[in-house]
Structure 1
Amino acid sequence: MQPTISVVTLVTDNLERAVRFYRDGLGLPTKGIVGNPEDDTQVAFFNLNQGFKLALWPRSSLARQLGTTVQGSGHMLSHNVTTQAAVDELVLAVENAGGNVLKRPHRQPWGCYGAYFSDPDGHCWELTYNPKYAG
């Protein structure tokens, strides 16, 4: 399987402020904030290069998805895969390699299928299968 990192997600305590900084301060292109804060789908995406995106996501939404608090600088790498089965396979590989599964594969509120894990040093990752963008 070819690894594909397509999104770097920064968690923020103030989504509106963060969007203003990246959009107005750094000039990054965005459609602005989309989604609904009530179901943790509120996010802002910034198109960078060759399909690579920066995402800003509220810390409170990530914490609810993981069922725990999220402290520190707050970042997450996203590995998009081409099938739901690939998410399941990679979660097993993560466990066998010493990673910590933070949330097992599940349907996400935004229509994807994914899981969360941290590597042995505590870096947070999301595995995602998005049927809208599948192979």
Structure 2
Amino acid sequence: MKAHVNAITLAVSDLERSFRFYSDGLGLSSPGIIGTEHVGDRDTPGGAAAMFTLDNGLVLALYSRTDLAKDAALPLDRIAGSPVSLGYFVDTREDVDRILAQAHQAGATIVRPPLERPWGIYSGYFTDPDGHLWEAVYFLDGQRPN
């Protein structure tokens, strides 16, 4: 396996609400919610999803929790929350502050206000409306990892 991730899919409880959070609130670009013509049933997942192609080519996808559980053949309780954090690297300390303020204005919960860490970063955390954990990070020496 090559060390490369092409897409991250976030399971969401309300696709339209989450789409608005990421598009209107955070300013990510997307063609909108697609695949709505593929309606699921009790056993088959639906196809409605929203996809955002990020500047580095990574696709951030939003997909219904129930549909993702059906698609992956997992119990619904396995598709929840945030046992990981998604990192967003920025160019300045002010960018960290701005991103957290923008996320809060869009409906995010700030779970850790920005602060300087002894290992050389300035960062803060927020969660989206479904509890997915994001960290905005500035590297104090200006040297981001590749």
TM-score w.r.t. length of structure 2:
0.46
Which of structures 1 and 2 has the bigger CA Rg?
A: 2
TM-score of the pair, normalised by structure 1: 0.50
Higher strand share: 1
